[in-house]
Structure 1
């Protein structure tokens, strides 16, 4: 067996860089992948140079290619699991993020699986924009040799549920490829659809690659014996250390600074990552739903061989604050409500969108009554899922802690209190209470590897959270690059989040520039995108000199407005036309120099 000391020093260094910070699933994939390469190399000959996301040439051996596009990490997690299982079954597998996939290889692919989320109401995730544009554009080749399957991840509280995956599925068929199985459309309870889809996909892969075509490949973890970290499925019950109001008297928002202990969890994170929180529904809401339907909170209901009381199902295992179309369709039919059926028709798109945006389950139960049995209600409601929050701290500074900047959603609807499930849950906790958490990596939202690079951070409201982590990290590591923050909120006196920290960072030289947009402090509203345009000359100069641009916050309005402002700056300062400015921004994204964490 080859020992590590038999590698040249240059190879040892490369091996260390390649495996540093990789999760077990990625390490397993690499070990199986390299074993597959070894099978193809003639005895006594070296394996040709392999890029980080490359695989054996498509014509050399049959290969399963898995392309994923992920905004929050769920699609990546499913794709990695699929690749790991395919490798364990002896399949030569290429796992690649959509923005790293060489589209020229598409015409020679034989078996392609796509796992892709839909961002917001029908948009591709940021890492998949170029891939989707190529595949749906005129340059996409005919694909008569290709067999494929598509798994979509989405949120049925949006009208265009899994819209991107359905579009890709239809487009591949249009290009002549053979569909192996129906496109999967996974809601926020991802595993309900993803697990059987993956099982079927593996069966099809085995059939597509006859056993004689499959090189043997053993899968060996490169870091055996490592204690498993907490995961989405098995979270760590962390202690709440601090729950402090950030907004002042008179603010229209209730924004909290949350500090949580990770002591004993073995969890680690990097600036840009998110913290997943498994919430519990407010007891008052659970009791209101039970009362509206005249159910018995203590009645036992068995679903999928699991028995719980109605109160337990609704409190910890079912979604009560976000509506979904499948539930509304079933509710309208059960209550024989023509008005609700009308709203659900495709031509009533905007009215349906408004219903989803403004109503919760309890509101629908009261406005459109129907009689549900406890068992049927629990079967129809979507399972409760964790919420992800951008981490507002650097472990270089806070060590075994993690900090959040959380907007507590709480409002009055027709005289009654309503809550956001996770924000209400976390905001109600006291010091010493515990909450189930896990880390969700966001590898696309990382500080530059070169600490001498400048960074431009655009984060109004709670979107400023990851940039607190960025500035802490850049300060702790003594990064020489400049830091420029754009922050906005309604009012200076009540909504200037982390004001003293930013002022201290400016004095200490850890924040080079700070531009503020307090929209309601003057007659004409001013937003961060307006400040970008005001600073257009310097901003363009920073970017052209190598700066990385980061955007975090609202996807519906802010992120789109900022995107348009950057395109306009490219035109006014760079003399580019509309098509050139789009290509300029796309190129920044492809380089990893324009990254967004939007929700």
Structure 2
């Protein structure tokens, strides 16, 4: 009798993968059945194994009640208590699904939890609050076996991409060069705002986009601020930092606002006494002098003026300069090879010092026509025109929130879409803040823009906003909804978007003859069906 040896055990999934022994045995058997056993078998890495089983068996129901941009961090984390780590990481995000990190909120948290993304500081709208919470949560992940050590939320100067860069111009990790063409001021004299229509040439890289997408800009810091920081450090602007002059590093590579925790840690290491205590407290997220919210890098150097850290250590303590995303206000179908943005310039004063928005002032004054800059297109997450061009749309976009809706209108015009279009636009004053007035009035005259409803908050003694205008024409809004219209909102997340949704609920209750709870459920159902979409920030 010939004794047959049992077939060799095929170990495809490594023991370091985050599975139970039963899961690993099942996966080994499953993958063994998919391959010819005579061929070499390449074991999965821990990251690949985690990706295969992401979310399997972790008991999560997939719901995200914390996915609300207006909800405070503490409330979001409370709602996520008891959920798997990846879901608690999602609750720590800013909940805007803005794409600045290169993901949506859920995908970014899943990538961190599966260890395929090592950077914890990519959530630009979440800022330090999100980075701190992710660092805390990552410590739980770090207790499990992993092929690499846990990163620090502040270890940011090394910006090597943790995932494949992909197609050129389609992600922050693989930008292309575009040409800056022009800027035109949209406000008229007496306006309190400074808003620009910005044009780019994309014909060189051949980059296209669809309406609803966003445009990523790699801006540069203000030279005046950079030179002030160099003076505070007491060194030459040509000081070498890993083969690059200090001035260039400060201009192009690192963020100068807000001050990261690692900078406070550095200050605590190189000083003593009361200053050290303050720096240590700031690094822990405390606010010993009540000024923590106003401390950018320059203000931190001024606060600890007696301390002059070594320039290389100083740079290592700073965060990378993140790209900024803007809603695209043009249509590739209407103007192929060109792209436009609608940008509010950010300037404000704290104490005696003027602060500047990095990207907005870069576009408004520092870049010149013909200059090249690094850019990319960020694909929209659930924000775009209906697949059926005959579907009517209601667009609510005060201020620069008009950007994607200008794009929608130009696209529908270029493609001869038959659907009706209704725009709600508002700003401070009708005589100086009516963006694209000639365009919009022409679209209304031609019939492309079926309705144009305007709201001005400073024209009279009583402030009047887009949500107030919606209520005034609530019966017509409900009629459009009843006929299948899609609703789009773009602009401020904390106030405007919330007020607009409340107005829509009230309109549904009054003219749709529903109870308040039924009206809330109706609007929630619009969101689930993709008929209520938001691009808010």
TM-score band, normalised by the shorter chain? 0.7 to 0.9
Which residue does 2:36 correspond to in 1?
A: none
SS in structure 1 of the partner of residue 334 of structure 2: helix
Is 1:324 the equivalent of 2:260?
A: yes
Deviates more, 1:588-597 or 1:380-389: 588-597
From 296, 312, 316, give the equivalent of 1:360.
296
Determine if contact 1:554/1:598 at 8 Å carries over to the other structure: yes
CA distance, structure 1, for counterparts of residue 228 and residue 510 of structure 2: 55
Is 1:442 the equivalent of 2:380?
A: yes
Is 1:430 the equivalent of 2:368?
A: yes
* 1:570 Cα deviation from its structure 2 partner: 3.0
Which residue does 1:522 correspond to in 2?
A: 460
Q: Deviations over 1:443-494 (max 9, x none)?
A: 4111000111111111111111111100000111111111111111111111
Q: How does 1:397-436 map to 2 (within 5 A)?
A: 397-428=334-365, 429-436=367-374
Which residue does 2:38 correspond to in 1?
A: none
Pair 1:386–1:495, CA change in 2 (3 A): same
Cα RMSD after superposing both structures: 4.3
Determine if contact 2:85/2:137 at 8 Å carries over to the other structure: no
Determine if contact 1:189/1:384 at 8 Å carries over to the other structure: no
Determine if contact 1:122/1:164 at 8 Å carries over to the other structure: no
Determine if contact 1:148/1:180 at 8 Å carries over to the other structure: no
What is the number of equivalent residue pairs in this alignment?
457
Pair 1:461–1:190, CA change in 2 (3 A): farther
From 218, 232, 248, give the equivalent of 1:278.
218
Determine if contact 1:519/1:526 at 8 Å carries over to the other structure: yes
Determine if contact 1:255/1:408 at 8 Å carries over to the other structure: yes
CA distance, structure 2, for counterparts of residue 372 and residue 582 of structure 1: 55
TM-score w.r.t. length of structure 1:
0.66
Q: Larger % of helix: which?
A: 1
* 1:331 Cα deviation from its structure 2 partner: 3.8
SS in structure 2 of the partner of residue 424 of structure 1: helix
Determine if contact 2:104/2:381 at 8 Å carries over to the other structure: no
Is 1:159 the equivalent of 2:97?
A: no
* 1:397 Cα deviation from its structure 2 partner: 1.0
Which residue does 1:251 correspond to in 2?
A: 191
Q: Larger % of strand: which?
A: 1
Determine if contact 1:149/1:180 at 8 Å carries over to the other structure: no
Which residue does 2:205 correspond to in 1?
A: 265
Determine if contact 2:168/2:174 at 8 Å carries over to the other structure: no
Q: How does 1:24-103 map to 2 (within 5 A)?
A: 61=30, 93=52, 103=62
Pair 1:60–1:463, CA change in 2 (3 A): farther
Pair 1:578–1:512, CA change in 2 (3 A): same
Determine if contact 2:260/2:317 at 8 Å carries over to the other structure: no
Pair 1:497–1:166, CA change in 2 (3 A): farther
More relative contact order in 1 or in 2 (CA 8 Å, sep 6+)? 2
Q: Deviations over 1:281-304 (max 9, x none)?
A: 1111100111122232111122xx
Pair 1:289–1:273, CA change in 2 (3 A): same
Q: How does 1:276-355 map to 2 (within 5 A)?
A: 276-302=216-242, 307-331=243-267, 334-335=270-271, 337=275, 338=277, 355=292
CA distance, structure 1, for counterparts of residue 135 and residue 512 of structure 2: 36
Deviates more, 1:385-394 or 1:113-122: 113-122
CA distance, structure 2, for counterparts of residue 90 and residue 347 of structure 1: 39
* 1:367 Cα deviation from its structure 2 partner: 3.3
Determine if contact 1:103/1:131 at 8 Å carries over to the other structure: no
Pair 1:347–1:532, CA change in 2 (3 A): farther
CA distance, structure 2, for counterparts of residue 162 and residue 122 of structure 1: 13
Is 1:570 the equivalent of 2:477?
A: no
CA distance, structure 2, for counterparts of residue 492 and residue 285 of structure 1: 36
Which residue does 1:592 correspond to in 2?
A: 530
Which residue does 2:313 correspond to in 1?
A: 376
CA distance, structure 1, for counterparts of residue 160 and residue 515 of structure 2: 44
Is 1:541 the equivalent of 2:479?
A: yes
Pair 1:289–1:130, CA change in 2 (3 A): closer
SS in structure 1 of the partner of residue 227 of structure 2: helix
Q: Which runs of 5+ in 2 are unaligned?
A: 1-25, 32-43, 64-83, 108-112
* 1:578 Cα deviation from its structure 2 partner: 4.6
Q: Deviations over 1:519-574 (max 9, x none)?
A: 11111111222222222222223223211111111223222222232233333333
* 1:148 Cα deviation from its structure 2 partner: 7.1
CA distance, structure 1, for counterparts of residue 531 and residue 240 of structure 2: 53
Pair 1:242–1:308, CA change in 2 (3 A): same
Determine if contact 1:150/1:169 at 8 Å carries over to the other structure: no
